[in-house]
Amino acid sequence: MLSLNADAILDYLNFPAVVKVFDEVDSTNAFLKRHIADFPVDRISLVVSDSQSAGYGKFHRSFFSPADSGVYFSVLLPIDLISDVDLVTLSAGVSVCSALKKLVPEGDFSLKWVNNVLNGDRKCGGVLAESISDDDGKLTFVVLGIGVDVFVESFPDELADVAGDVGAVDLFDRNFFVGSVLNFLLDLLDNPDSVVPDFRLLCSTVGQRVEVVAGGRRVIGKAVDVDDSGGLVVVDDKKNRHLFNSGEVSKVFL
């Protein structure tokens, strides 16, 4: 894989941004949140790392982020750029999946609701959006973390049965990939009405028998749709419809 380079990423972006590249950070999201005062408020900022020593995802679970194996980055989005905060995660998933399809057309990329990127039936990437508010409780930024495993020689035992990678190494330009994801993302933020339709087209969860867990709710049934708000619609065995605006598809019954 080509080395990460801030100038190369900037060359691929269709808009001005601040880009910082590191060999390793603890977590790109955590780094941005700690140093938020060092970044401008009037443009997008981006932190990209070759590896993370303490990467995390949904529910603060550890996110495996080894060196020379993937690309891990976080975007600081000023709230003025976002018309619907609830669609940020879906927008990011669509952007990542679209960029992967562009770079690796032979891959079998799809989205597992709500924040996982799949290659075949294995997770190769994930998205995590975290809101930042000022002292008065007013939402000011969204920190959007994205991690993609490009080529991983081996996963820890606890991930070996579920994790995968993009399956490309020599020809995968990580700088172009990051730039493509951000360009797709900004287009979607400018056109929010296209987010859910695009997500539906890429979502492999719909049509599957699933188990969804959200707080104290646990429903097993068939995922039948992603509604206009981005929520997952599940019909249980008694034909009751359930709408999940958050939660986790903890199991897909193949």
Average pLDDT, the chain: 95
Average confidence (pLDDT) over 118-136? 95
The first and second tokens of residue 157, run together, are: 């035992």
The answer to whether residue 141 scores a pLDDT higher than 90 is yes
The label of the residue with tokens 């708000």 reads: 229
pLDDT value, residue 254: 65
Is pLDDT above 90 for 58? no
Residue where the block lists tokens 């009751």 = 240
Looking at the chain, which residues constitute the CATH 3.30.930.10 domain(s)? 6-202
The architecture CATH gives domain 6-202: 2-Layer Sandwich (3.30)
187-217 pLDDT, tens digit per residue, is 999 999 999 999 999 999 999 999 999 988 9
Q: Is 87 left (phi over 0), alpha (psi -120 to 50) or beta?
A: alpha
The pTM for the full model equals 0.95
Question: How much is the pLDDT for 2?
Answer: 81
- The reported pLDDT for the residue numbered 46 is 98
Q: How many CB atoms lie within 10 A of CB 122?
A: 17
List, by residue range, all CATH 2.30.30.100 domains of the chain. Answer: 209-253
Could you tell me how many residues make up the chain? 254
**pLDDT score for 252:** 83
- CB-neighbour burial class of residue 89 (10 A; exposed 0-12, middle 13-18, buried 19+): buried
Q: Which of 115, 108, 148 is nearest to 244 (CA)?
A: 115
**pLDDT tens-digit series, residues 26-49:** 999 999 999 999 999 889 999 999
Pinpoint the alpha helices (H) of the chain. 6-12, 28-34, 88-103, 174-190, 195-202
Asked whether the beta carbons of 206 and 225 are under 8 A apart, the reply is: yes
The domain at 209-253 falls in which architecture?
Roll (2.30)
